[in-house]
Structure 1
């Protein structure tokens, strides 16, 4: 389930930024084929890749993986 949410969010945010997979790969230093696998839900990113992609897209990790937001809110509350 989390993989599907991540793959859908990654693709949606990338497309909102008008970036191709190749362009995202270039700015994030993550291989384009890996980005394609992430978007298809066929691979899970390492923490390093996740951070690199979030930085390149100028979003928080919780924007890519909303389950982080839930955990953060629970911890703060």
Structure 2
């Protein structure tokens, strides 16, 4: 049985997190591919997270924050 879609407010917050990641990545002048390499994930995952199409596990967010040298709290605020 498929799980129910998340509420709109969850999707909106997921998109906001993706926007924070994208802004930080661009500020650091990193491509999605380079961020993926630094975080140990694939580029498609970075793209889906930035677009808000994929919910990221906390471990992935921790990896991204470390790769960006940015506090995790700044990405999820």
Say if 2:37 is the partner of 1:26.
yes
In structure 1, how many angstroms separate the alpha carbons of the residues matched to 2:41 and 2:60?
6
Whole-Å separation in 1 of the counterparts to 2:63 and 2:72: 10
Distance 2:44 2:16 in 1: 19
2:68 matches 1:48: no
Count of residues paired in the alignment = 66
The answer for unaligned runs of 5 or more in structure 2 is: 1-11
TM superposition score normalised by structure 2:
0.82
Moved over 3 A (4+): none
CA distance in 2, matches of 1:44, 1:31: 15
In the alignment, structure 1 segments of 5+ residues that lack a partner are 67-77
Q: What residue in structure 2 maps to residue 16 of structure 1? A: 27
The two structures, once aligned, show a CA RMSD in angstroms of 0.6
How does the TM-score come out when normalised to structure 1? Answer: 0.82
